[in-house]
Amino acid sequence: MDERRIGDILRESGAISAEDAEQALAYQRETGALFGQALLRLGAVAEEKLLSALSAQLGFSVLDRAALPENDEVFAASARAVGLPLRWLAAKEAVVWTVPDGSGDEAEAKLILLARNPLDPALNERLHTGWAGRVERVLASNRLLDSALARLHSLSAQRPDGVLTDAERLREMAEEAPVIDFVNALFEDALRDGASDIHVEPFEHVFKVRFRVDGVLHLVQTQPRSRFDAVASRVKLVSGMDIAERRLPQDGRQTIRFAGEEVDLRVSSLPGAWGESLVLRLLRKRQELPTLDGLGLEGAPRTGFDRMIREPNGVILVTGPTGSGKSTTLYRALELVNDGERKIITIEDPVEYDMDGITQVQARADIGYSFARGLRAILRQDPDVIMIGEIRDGETARIAIQAALTGHLVFSTLHTNSAMAAIERLVDLGVESFLVSAALRGLMAQRLVRRLCDHCALPAPPEDIVIAEQLLDQSRSEGALWPAGTFAAPAHWRVPQGCDHCRGQGYLGRVAVYEAAYVDGALREAVARHAPSRDLMAAARAAGFLTMLEDGMLKARAGLTSVAEIMRVLGGGPEVVIDEAPPARLSAQI
């Protein structure tokens, strides 16, 4: 590719004179024609020389007439494959068709683009979003290009009354500048506010946009329902979904770039009574991971965690719902075991953070590359440590257990409500209890709760302290063994208020609450005999296990969050009876 301007290339080769170039520039200013086309219309250069110079400048080959498809249906089928209306292509003076890339794999076909202006930004953006494979741009004589365009116009005219299909109408709506600006602004605002998800929800007369920030949805704006179809089509177009399909749920994904930052976008659509509900998850690839201390992993859960990751082999499971911070905990665990002497491989969907010194693999369910299939391939790579993004089925569970029993340290996640529930979940997936007992080294569960804003938080009222006292009393009655010094520091029970720093929410950021059980001794024996949950809990309690609720109450006591927030996220707790004044003993014991 030559970085010189086309006029300079032609002048230096003697194809045109300086006077020819000046005349062509004047013609270009008057008519808006491309510089090369201006030269041709003025008769200042032979077309063959212009094509040769353009080929040298752009790195595009010159198309031979024999390479142009003879069957017009090839143009139509290729346009459909890319999702481009024939009329739109004709207006852009462009023709596309697919050809094998030489590998023999039909799925690896490349797209050929022949256009009056192959560098047209709008044309290339549409190709980028509509075609996942390679695009080869070619040049051709005006005569050959005009011939191809005439065939394309003929195909386009065959559509009855020139009516656009539903897909074409939606695509045109999605390409309107105000719609593009609206959706781009949503992305920018969501990233600025630290939102993890964008919800676009249609109703009878309006549609609403809500951001999930710190785990809670906030209404951002309400728009007329008449704008929804265009906005939904734009979102679906950006994420590679079928914009014409509005009857079935769809999933899409795309990597987008805003302010120099790469963001993995995952979109889910769900048809509803008033249209498709859209949820857009934003995963910031370069976002700095919080430290374990910053997450709030301390005390009894930290002790259990540190014991787990020192094991040379076995399975360590982190449980919790989507968005509870499981991946962050696992990434930090991998950093701690990444001593340069072990081979560490992950299989994820998606790869959320790039990690130095670790081989990270992307699972792709759409092509049959599941966690189980990827895990089998990983085991042939001589790994020491494996991280599986999620155990979703029995096959993956069994392979993970077998890998642990053959000397590998395996980290993974499960969707369960508590650490102990992971044991029953593995059994439900078809893993024998004695194998679970032999392989399991550690269990963790976690949730994210909102952190109180330090600029406006207020001292908690007596009723909140009563709730906390009753919860702690309940924990003591259930056999909780608090580490020495747990209640030595003064209590700082606080509640939210709201200010400019936290945008009136009273909370700013999040902190995790944990429970962690190191599996050995009595707990391992209880797992092996498939003991009921109460026996599992008793064995864990005897070893110092504290629940997420108890960890949460300790964080509320330290003033990191509020009792109400702990109850909102974790629920449970005793029936509260509030006296007119809190017991005098509370300040000493809590």
Residue 86 covered by a domain = yes
CA diameter of the chain: 100
Residue 177 covered by a domain = yes
My answer on whether 336 and 460 are in the same domain is yes
My answer on whether 139 and 177 are in the same domain is no
CATH, residue 272:
3.30.450.90
The whole-angstrom separation of Cα 199 and Cα 268 is 10
Residue 145 covered by a domain = yes
My answer on whether 260 and 399 are in the same domain is no
For residues 513 and 476, the answer to whether their CB atoms sit within 8 Å is: no
- The pair of structure tokens assigned to 182 is 């609206």
The residues, any chain, with a CB within 8 Å of residue 541's CB and separated by 6 or more, are: 478, 479, 480, 481
The residues, any chain, with a CB within 8 Å of residue 119's CB and separated by 6 or more, are: 58
The whole-angstrom separation of Cα 537 and Cα 5 is 75
Q: Is 433 helix (H, G, I), strand (E, B) or coil?
A: helix
My answer on whether 443 and 374 are in the same domain is yes
For residues 252 and 234, the answer to whether their CB atoms sit within 8 Å is: no
The whole-angstrom separation of Cα 301 and Cα 546 is 7
pLDDT of 3 = 76
Residue 580 covered by a domain = no
- Counting the structural domains of the chain, the total is 4
Residue 504 covered by a domain = yes
The whole-angstrom separation of Cα 429 and Cα 417 is 16
My answer on whether 357 and 503 are in the same domain is yes
User: How much is the average pLDDT of 419-447?
Assistant: 96
Boundary-marking domain end, from 134, 162, 190: 162
| Between 104 and 1, the higher pLDDT residue | 1
User: How much is the average pLDDT of 14-41?
Assistant: 85
My answer on whether 265 and 404 are in the same domain is no
| Between 240 and 212, the higher pLDDT residue | 212
The whole-angstrom separation of Cα 292 and Cα 301 is 11
Start-to-end Cα distance in the chain: 72
Lowest mean pLDDT among 99-103, 268-272, 367-371: 99-103
Instruction: Please give the full DSSP string across 353-391, using - where no structure is assigned.
Output: S--TT-EEEE-BGGGTB-HHHHHHHHHTT--SEEEES--
My answer on whether 303 and 447 are in the same domain is yes
Query: pLDDT-based confidence at 590, cuts 50/70/90?
Result: very low
pLDDT of 161 = 38
Q: 225-263: buried (b, 16+ CB within 10 Å) or exposed (e) per residue?
A: eeebbbbbbbbbbbbbbebbebeeebebbeeeeeeeeeb
pLDDT of 163 = 44
| Between 462 and 316, the higher pLDDT residue | 316
Adjacency order of strands within the sheet including 110-115: 61-62, 135-139, 110-115, 94-99
pTM attached to this predicted model = 0.65
My answer on whether 119 and 41 are in the same domain is no
Phi-psi region of 479 (alpha: psi -120 to 50; beta: other; left: phi over 0): left
For 282-308, what is the HEC assignment?
EEECCCCCCCHHHHCCCHHHHHHHHHH
The whole-angstrom separation of Cα 529 and Cα 522 is 11
For residues 321 and 570, the answer to whether their CB atoms sit within 8 Å is: no
Q: What rounded mean pLDDT belongs to the chain?
A: 86
Task: Note down the domain range covering 191.
Answer: 168-284
CATH, residue 475:
3.40.50.300
pLDDT tops 90 at residue 82: no
Q: H or E stretch including 566? A: helix 563-570
My answer on whether 476 and 385 are in the same domain is yes
pLDDT of 509 = 92
Query: pLDDT-based confidence at 576, cuts 50/70/90?
Result: very low
Q: Kindly give the pairing relationship between strand 314-319 and strand 440-452.
A: parallel
pLDDT of 167 = 63
Residue 582 covered by a domain = no
The whole-angstrom separation of Cα 463 and Cα 448 is 24
My answer on whether 239 and 347 are in the same domain is no
Boundary-marking domain end, from 229, 250, 284: 284
**CB count in 10 Å sphere of residue 178:** 9
Report CA 197 to chain centroid distance, whole Å: 10
Query: pLDDT-based confidence at 280, cuts 50/70/90?
Result: very high
Boundary-marking domain end, from 162, 192, 211: 162
Residue 577 covered by a domain = no
My answer on whether 84 and 34 are in the same domain is no
For 462-504, what is the HEC assignment?
HHHHHHHHHHHHHHHHCCCCCCCCCCCCCCCCEECCCCCCCCC
For residue 160, whether the previous peptide bond is cis, meaning omega lies within 30 degrees of 0, is no
Whose CA is closest to 430, among 384, 402, 397?
A: 397
Residue 576 covered by a domain = no
Q: For 479-510, how does the pLDDT look when each residue is reduced to its tens digit (9 = 90+)?
A: 677 777 777 788 899 999 999 999 899 999 99
My answer on whether 140 and 184 are in the same domain is no
Among 2-11, 293-302, 465-474, the range with the most confident prediction by mean pLDDT is 293-302
Cα dihedral sign, 340-305-437-323: negative
For residues 246 and 267, the answer to whether their CB atoms sit within 8 Å is: no
